[in-house]
């Protein structure tokens, strides 16, 4: 069922004059009426410097005491965003590049190196790593969860390897869900719109005796097919369903336990262009079905000793079965132990150890073959981080992680952070750290028939071959930052960084040879992965919050990124120089939040993304807006428009085998009932 914008509304929202008209209308509301609305200034802004985050040091810290570039997407940000998925929520974070490829495929990165499988960003949901070791990337369509149950999303821009380990190179995205104790009662939510044809959530929570609480949910969504750049229809629609639960238990005054799990299934479409090794040299373009099934179960026990020190033990099992240009079955078991304690009056120490085993199987691939088709990896980790309080206003945090992985053996990831808080409302910090990117199964063992082209007397097959001797790519990162509450109405956060990358992956040609198999006879141009690339990137990231009035807040953001790549003198790689074309140099955001009379809410976001060299993909400006109405404590109605400035646009082209589609203007209506 479609809800197209009327001509008048579409014209008003799609033009700058229309936006000004709407602002004038709102500002014309008498001040005495606006005074009846909730005071935004006391809602969050004064407490922004006191927000608690846990992702930087694996302990609860005030954001003012953190020596890292951290952005928190709060529960209220999520509710008022009008978004329907996690990737779109990440657009509000300066320095995060979110590019949609088709209706369910995304390329998301931090500080460059964007790709469908962005291997330099670690993504977690409640402490569970959600990347696939075959490509070291994230299938974002699998990371589906009720947005109503997310407590917050903490985004670290910059290395997080000291506490999180490999692949936390350019950043960490940590999605944390709400305790079952915070979600009692029932919730029913339904939505429909011009592109999201149906969305539904049913959830109920309650108590289990005096010590326990639970919630269980089921959800379903569908998205219609979009279109290609030539306006022809694509086949990228999706249908998915999900069920899950979470239980939280206060076993004693010193012990609490969390047990949670999710079950997810999806049927999706995509258009791919690929080669088949036994049907060379022809390319095949066809509509392909993607089928996904996942299950996970996680348990976490926290214990607090009488002296205030704390231990945490976490176990999870994750199973994924995915057919996506090949059948992959991945099983992951993970154990993590952490101890947080004070050593004397000045030392706050966090230490931990962990073990992970993955069993990965891949078969029936199109142009890619993964070695023998099965690989089992074991990962051993340990880390120690100490926050030394030098004075009341100056703290130094040092630490390192040691990891032993199945590809490169023993690796270490040290870091140091210096935090100075000259006043309660100002923080100056600096950091230096090292992080590594562990090779994936693809880089170590895969063989891919990447391209064919005619040559005299036949054709040539451009092959990409894995390298079992691959090394871990390294980042040496240096940052400085400043965050402050400059007045009762204005907060400001700035970060500047210099990133030195070493041992980046390159493709090195090997001598060509002629082969008779598979038929027909042809020339093979082999290229092997190696680590002969370097890069030196730098940039700035800015964000802030400004209460213009007691009922109107705007939150601007901006990021700039400069990337420069070089090669070892022995390298003959031609692909690394194209990497900057996948990431925009500049991005900007401006979010507006208004509390209107009669429990109305009007929220608007504008996003600017500079052009990409790959494609090329032109720059675009995205306008989203949401109008919400809260009826008492139980009912909420909203209508949200996305991409309102243009009928459609392209966001990314470098999508491996998947053909990109256009992102279209859409409108979604939603009703939520809590009881």
Contact predicate 638/669, CB 8 Å: yes
Question: CA angle, corner 390, sides to 385 and 396, nearest 5?
Answer: 35
- Give the pLDDT of residue 471: 96
Contact predicate 133/16, CB 8 Å: no
Average pLDDT over residues 522-537: 97
- Give the pLDDT of residue 321: 97
Average pLDDT over residues 425-431: 96
- Give the pLDDT of residue 50: 77
Task: Return d(Cα 164, Cα 186) in angstroms, integer.
Answer: 35
DSSP state of 217: E
Nearest to 301 by CA among 336, 342, 270: 336
**Could you report the per-residue pLDDT of 584-636, keeping only the tens digit for each?**
999 999 999 999 999 999 999 999 999 999 988 999 999 999 999 999 889 99
Q: Taking 50 as the threshold, does the pLDDT of residue 40 lie above it?
A: no
> Which residue matches tokens 């491996």?
656
**Could you report the per-residue pLDDT of 88-141, keeping only the tens digit for each?**
999 999 999 999 999 999 999 999 999 999 999 999 999 999 999 999 999 999
pLDDT bin (cut points 50, 70, 90) of residue 6 is very low
Q: Taking 50 as the threshold, does the pLDDT of residue 16 lie above it?
A: no
270 preceded by cis ω (within 30°)? no
Q: Taking 70 as the threshold, does the pLDDT of residue 554 lie above it?
A: yes
pLDDT bin (cut points 50, 70, 90) of residue 655 is confident
- Grouping H, G, I as helix, E, B as strand and the rest as coil, residue 215 is strand
> Which residue matches tokens 């069922």?
1
pLDDT bin (cut points 50, 70, 90) of residue 194 is confident
Task: Return d(Cα 158, Cα 479) in angstroms, integer.
Answer: 8
Q: Over the chain, what is the mean pLDDT?
A: 91
Task: Return d(Cα 611, Cα 606) in angstroms, integer.
Answer: 16
Please name the helix (run of DSSP H) or strand (run of DSSP E) that holds residue 205, with its range, or none.
strand 198-208
544 backbone dihedrals φ, ψ, rounded to 5°: -165, 175
Average pLDDT over residues 304-313: 96
Q: Taking 70 as the threshold, does the pLDDT of residue 31 lie above it?
A: no
Strand locations in 510-634, DSSP E?
Answer: 513-515, 522-547, 552-567, 586-596, 600-609, 620-631
Q: Structure tokens of 611?
A: 């052009």
Nearest to 97 by CA among 121, 123, 77: 121
Please indicate whether residue 11 or residue 506 has the higher confidence score (pLDDT): 506
pLDDT bin (cut points 50, 70, 90) of residue 196 is low
Task: Return d(Cα 442, Cα 419) in angstroms, integer.
Answer: 40
Please indicate whether residue 27 or residue 378 has the higher confidence score (pLDDT): 378
**Could you report the per-residue pLDDT of 212-241, keeping only the tens digit for each?**
999 999 999 999 999 999 999 999 999 999
Q: Taking 80 as the threshold, does the pLDDT of residue 8 lie above it?
A: no
**Could you report the per-residue pLDDT of 208-220, keeping only the tens digit for each?**
999 999 999 999 9
Average pLDDT over residues 182-198: 89
Contact predicate 397/444, CB 8 Å: no
Q: Structure tokens of 406?
A: 């199945």
Q: Taking 80 as the threshold, does the pLDDT of residue 340 lie above it?
A: yes
Task: Return d(Cα 477, Cα 385) in angstroms, integer.
Answer: 18
Q: Taking 50 as the threshold, does the pLDDT of residue 27 lie above it?
A: no
Task: Return d(Cα 519, Cα 306) in angstroms, integer.
Answer: 73
Q: How far is CA 51 from the centre of its chain?
A: 21
572 preceded by cis ω (within 30°)? no
pLDDT bin (cut points 50, 70, 90) of residue 13 is very low
DSSP state of 35: T
Task: Return d(Cα 374, Cα 675) in angstroms, integer.
Answer: 49
Task: Return d(Cα 213, Cα 245) in angstroms, integer.
Answer: 11
CA distances for 339 relative to 212, 243, 388, 525, angstroms = 25, 33, 17, 52
Between the two ends of the chain, the Cα-to-Cα distance in Å is: 27
């Amino acid at each position: 069922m479609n809800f197209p914008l009327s001509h008048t509304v579409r014209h008003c929202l799609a033009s700058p004059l229309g936006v000004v008209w709407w602002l004038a209308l709102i500002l014309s509301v008498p001040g005495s009426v606006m005074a009846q609305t909730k005071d935004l200034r006391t809602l969050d802004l004064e407490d922004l410097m006191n927000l608690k985050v846990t992702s930087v040091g694996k302990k609860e810290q005030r954001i003012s005491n953190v020596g890292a570039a951290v952005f928190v997407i709060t529960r209220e940000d999520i509710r008022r965003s009008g978004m329907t998925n996690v990737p779109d929520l990440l657009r509000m974070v300066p320095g995060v590049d979110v590019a949609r490829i088709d209706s369910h495929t995304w390329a998301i990165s931090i500080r460059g190196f964007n790709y469908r499988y962005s291997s330099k960003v670690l993504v977690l949901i409640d402490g569970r790593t959600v990347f696939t070791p075959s490509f070291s990337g994230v299938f974002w369509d699998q990371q589906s969860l009720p947005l109503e149950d997310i407590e917050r999303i903490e985004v670290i821009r910059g290395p997080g390897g000291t506490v999180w380990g490999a692949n936390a190179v350019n950043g960490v995205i940590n999605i944390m869900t709400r305790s079952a104790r915070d979600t009692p009662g029932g919730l029913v939510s339904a939505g429909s719109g011009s592109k999201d044809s149906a969305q539904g959530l049913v959830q109920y929570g309650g108590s289990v005796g005096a010590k326990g609480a639970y919630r269980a949910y089921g959800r379903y969504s569908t998205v219609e097919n979009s279109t290609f750049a030539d306006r022809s229809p694509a086949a990228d629609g999706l249908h998915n369903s999900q069920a899950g639960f979470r239980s939280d238990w206060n076993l004693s005054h010193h012990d609490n336990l969390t047990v949670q799990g999710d079950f997810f299934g999806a049927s999706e479409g995509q258009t791919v262009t690929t080669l088949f090794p036994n049907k060379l040299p022809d390319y095949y373009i066809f509509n392909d079905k993607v089928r996904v099934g996942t299950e996970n179960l996680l348990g976490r026990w926290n214990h607090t000793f009488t002296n205030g020190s704390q231990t945490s033990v976490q176990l999870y099992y994750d199973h994924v079965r995915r057919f996506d240009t090949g059948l992959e079955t991945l099983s992951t078991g993970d154990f993590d132990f952490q101890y947080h304690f004070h050593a004397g009056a000045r030392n706050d120490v966090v230490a931990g150890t962990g073990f992970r085993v993955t069993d990965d199987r891949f078969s029936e691939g199109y142009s890619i073959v993964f070695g023998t088709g099965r690989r089992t990896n074991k990962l051993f980790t340990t880390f120690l981080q100490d926050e030394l309080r030098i004075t009341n206003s100056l703290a130094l945090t040092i630490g390192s992680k040691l990891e032993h992985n199945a590809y490169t053996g023993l690796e270490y990831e040290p870091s140091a952070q210096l935090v100075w808080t000259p006043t309660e409302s100002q923080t100056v910090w600096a950091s230096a750290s090292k992080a590594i990117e562990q090779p994936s199964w693809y880089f170590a063992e895969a063989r891919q028939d990447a391209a064919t082209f005619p040559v005299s007397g036949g054709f040539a097959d451009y092959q990409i071959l894995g390298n079992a001797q691959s090394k871990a790519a390294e980042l040496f990162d240096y940052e400085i930052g400043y965050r402050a509450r400059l007045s009762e109405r204005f907060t400001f956060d700035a970060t500047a960084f210099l990133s030195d990358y070493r041992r980046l992956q390159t493709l090195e040609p090997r001598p060509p040879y002629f082969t008779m198999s598979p038929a027909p006879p042809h020339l093979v141009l082999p290229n092997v992965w190696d680590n002969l690339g370097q890069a030196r990137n730098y940039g700035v990231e800015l964000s802030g919050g400004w209460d213009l009035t007691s009922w109107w807040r705007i939150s601007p953001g901006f990021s700039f990124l400069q990337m420069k790549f070089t090669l070892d003198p022995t390298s003959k790689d031609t692909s690394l120089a194209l990497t900057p074309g996948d990431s925009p140099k500049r991005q900007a955001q401006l979010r507006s939040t208004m509390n209107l009379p009669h429990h109305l809410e009007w929220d608007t976001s504008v996003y600017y993304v500079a052009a990409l060299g790959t494609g090329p993909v032109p720059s675009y400006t995205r306008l989203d807006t949401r109008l919400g109405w809260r009826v008492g404590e139980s009912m909420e109605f909203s209508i949200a428009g996305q991409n309102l400035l243009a009928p459609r646009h392209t966001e990314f082209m470098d999508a491996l085998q998947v053909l990109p589609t256009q992102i279209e203007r859409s409108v979604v209506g939603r009703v939520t009932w809590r009881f």
